[in-house]
Structure 1
Amino acid sequence: MTTCLVIGATGFIGGQIARAAAKRGWQVRALRRRPGAVGAIGDVAVEWWAGDLTDGATAVRQAHRTGPELVEGRASLIGAMAGCDVVFHAAGAYPHGARRLAQEVKAAEAQIRTVLDAFAAAGAGRLVYTSSFTTIGPPGEPGRLADERDPYLPGSAQEAYHEAKWAMEVAALQSGLPVVALCPTAVFGPGDVHLSVSQILLLAAKGRIPVYVDAVFNIVDSRDVALAHLAAAEQGRLGERYLIGGHNVTLLDGLALTARLAHAAPPRFRLHPRVLDAIAALPIRGLGHLRTMRLWQPFNNAKAVRELGLAPRPLERTIGDALAWFKTMGYL
């Protein structure tokens, strides 16, 4: 029987990985920082482990502020990883903004080093690291969609999330350890208990997005992302990264589909790019996604389809199942 550890099991992608692994019959260890936290997998048979991704000194400082339940970082990770065939790291840093960009990137690098050091010390089988589509840059040649061959250009976004995700992915893949990196696109579907990315779906389902901008992006189902992680654990090539994408759609089409399924009013007014730029330039926290919309692009998922058996389910099912889950949770 395969034994795995899911770091980030109380989150969106990590929760779906834990659910898919348990359904396959794997022995699933689920890492959490605080006792009692179950995310969206309270109904899944997992073995909960307490742990933290910070380095030891940071964890000790945090324990003085938050209580003794916070377990020291590296040692807790080594214990949780010991004896595991695969470790899924789906809890990478999630910084936003540009005011403390250098500090945020430094903290993200320290976090991934803690995980990598613990992984090496524990002697686990392989590490499947959840990165991001933001580490994929523009296509290197004209006439094709962007894919794994295209690296992010450091500094091009000037946003902490992009810079941190790139730094963490590079550290993981250049560590010399048995690592496979997955780069999911915009993930929607059931299980986003913290509404980390699904807030836009809720707003659209409530008819609260009257405007749109001309943009194309890629949507992938959370359950398909989880299955891709399991495939990467079994057959992904070490040292490689895989773009886990589903459907290239315009922002208008995605919002309109969500509104239609929720019987809400769709967006009606196109926002001129100059107006968007003016809004994004405002010194307001939380506008990072607006500032980086110029980097949105369609993607080619052929490598993951070919090597990991990625089979994206229909977009309408993804959005419909997400809305149904929101209703069950009382969000909608």
Structure 2
Amino acid sequence: MTTASTRRAEPGQSTDSMAQSLRGMAVLVTGATGLVGNNVTRQLIDHGAHVRCLVRSASRPRPLEELDVELVVGDVCDESSVMRAMREQQVVVHAAGDVAIGWSRCRQAKCVNTEGTRLVATGARRLNARMIHISTVNTMSVGGDQVVADEETPWSGREVASNYVSSKRRAEELVREQLGKGLDAVVLCPGFMLGPWDWKPSSGQMFLAVATRFSGLAPGGRCSVCDVRDVSQGICRSIVAAESGRRYILAGENMSYLTLWQAMAAATNGYRPVGCLGPVGSLIVGRAGDLWGQLRGAEPTINSASMAMASQYHYYDSSRAVRDLGYHVRPLQQTLADAWEWFCRFGYGPEKLRQAA
């Protein structure tokens, strides 16, 4: 289904054509203070869209300071807030999410990732708005060494059923249910994103850890690294060019965590890892993280779920997005350099490293 109020363009259109299609369009962004939400908000503004953001506080959050956006105070888990924010909007980019990898925060993951998606999808269908649902490649199948998955690869059963993965998979199911009832929606699955405007930070935590602390051994798995700015460009293109009901991978360079960590160290003059954790080492580190979390009453970032995922092979093929959306991935070195410059400029790194950068 195509909403009459949303201008559409041809797949693979130029950036100028896309900007023309987006100019003046009313777009709601949820999760606008997060990594992908903040980047896509900035790009939508650059393309001339009228952007509205659903935020929890009446005071303007730092990530949205000096941005020409309309703020609606509310909660993505509250139906009245969602419906109020979506009024008179042609498109909703649903980027809100709880991204903690672990076994705790079950209630939070279900509330934001699952229930929030249900409310947004239902509201978009009722109000005849297009929904761009930001999911994750972690809802996709994982394979063995050198096995590259795409949108049609069957679920292998080897995936880690953490609260994050389970809640995001259920969220996609809810979007598909509303598609069957007439919702105009596209599902986008980004890879491991790095880049600027990572305020919390999210995936940038790994980058900062490698840059500022010694870790001789990287996780033993593989990942698909992409620049959040390229993902955001893909999101903008999907608004005007993607076919409703389609699922797109927005991933990047497939590489080992060891290769990624060595590149991070090189970009920041950090400590270069020399090898990878094996299966037994990963298990020990993960279990130790679980035990530490139980002792202090809060689950750490390093736990058995995150270590299990970091030991898997997450290789993905973005060919569909390249073909239909003109998606592209810039070189990793550029992404790391720009991300590090942003972190240093906004005070996330130690003083000596900020000066070195």
- What TM-score, normalized by structure 1, do the two folds share? 0.87
- Measured after TM superposition, the shift of residue 173 of structure 1 is 2.2
Aligned to 2:238: 232
Please show how residues 1-332 of structure 1 align to structure 2 within 5 Å: 1-54=24-77, 73-98=78-103, 104-105=109-110, 108-121=113-126, 123-138=127-142, 145-152=148-155, 156-176=159-179, 177-282=183-288, 283=290, 284=293, 285-286=299-300, 287=303, 288-332=305-349
Aligned Cα RMSD in Å?
2.3
CA pair 111-95 structure 1, distance change in 2 beyond 3 A: farther
CA pair 205-27 structure 1, distance change in 2 beyond 3 A: same
Deviation per CA, 1:100-148: give whole Å up to 9, x if none.
7589547743222222222233x142000000110110369x9851011
Which one scores higher on RCO, CA 8 angstroms, separation ≥ 6?
2
CA pair 207-107 structure 1, distance change in 2 beyond 3 A: closer
- Residue segments in structure 2 that go unaligned for 5+ positions in a row: 1-23, 294-298, 350-357
Deviation per CA, 1:273-301: give whole Å up to 9, x if none.
21111222343423131122233321111
DSSP-derived class of the 1:146 partner? coil
- Residue segments in structure 1 that go unaligned for 5+ positions in a row: 55-72
- Measured after TM superposition, the shift of residue 153 of structure 1 is 5.2
DSSP-derived class of the 1:127 partner? strand
1:113 and 1:235 map into 2 onto residues whose CA distance is 24
CA pair 191-99 structure 1, distance change in 2 beyond 3 A: closer
1:80 and 1:279 map into 2 onto residues whose CA distance is 43
Q: Which amino acid aligns with 1:309?
A: G
DSSP-derived class of the 1:223 partner? helix
1:124 and 1:278 map into 2 onto residues whose CA distance is 50
Number of equivalenced pairs: 312
CA pair 270-144 structure 1, distance change in 2 beyond 3 A: closer
- Measured after TM superposition, the shift of residue 81 of structure 1 is 1.1
Q: Tell whether the 8 Å contact from 2:142 to 2:158 is kept in structure 1 after alignment.
A: no
2:58 and 2:321 map into 1 onto residues whose CA distance is 36
DSSP-derived class of the 2:64 partner? coil
CA pair 129-324 structure 1, distance change in 2 beyond 3 A: same
CA pair 260-107 structure 1, distance change in 2 beyond 3 A: closer
Q: Tell whether the 8 Å contact from 1:7 to 1:32 is kept in structure 2 after alignment.
A: yes
CA pair 214-257 structure 1, distance change in 2 beyond 3 A: same
Q: Which amino acid aligns with 2:162?
A: E
CA pair 79-167 structure 1, distance change in 2 beyond 3 A: same
Higher mean C-alpha displacement, 223-232 vs 210-219? 210-219
- Measured after TM superposition, the shift of residue 41 of structure 1 is 3.3
Deviation per CA, 1:55-114: give whole Å up to 9, x if none.
xxxxxxxxxxxxxxxxxx222221221221210000034354335758954774322222
Deviation per CA, 1:181-226: give whole Å up to 9, x if none.
1000001000110011111101111243221233221111111111
- Measured after TM superposition, the shift of residue 305 of structure 1 is 0.5
Q: Tell whether the 8 Å contact from 1:213 to 1:273 is kept in structure 2 after alignment.
A: no
Q: Tell whether the 8 Å contact from 1:248 to 1:299 is kept in structure 2 after alignment.
A: yes
- Measured after TM superposition, the shift of residue 271 of structure 1 is 2.3
1:292 and 1:271 map into 2 onto residues whose CA distance is 13
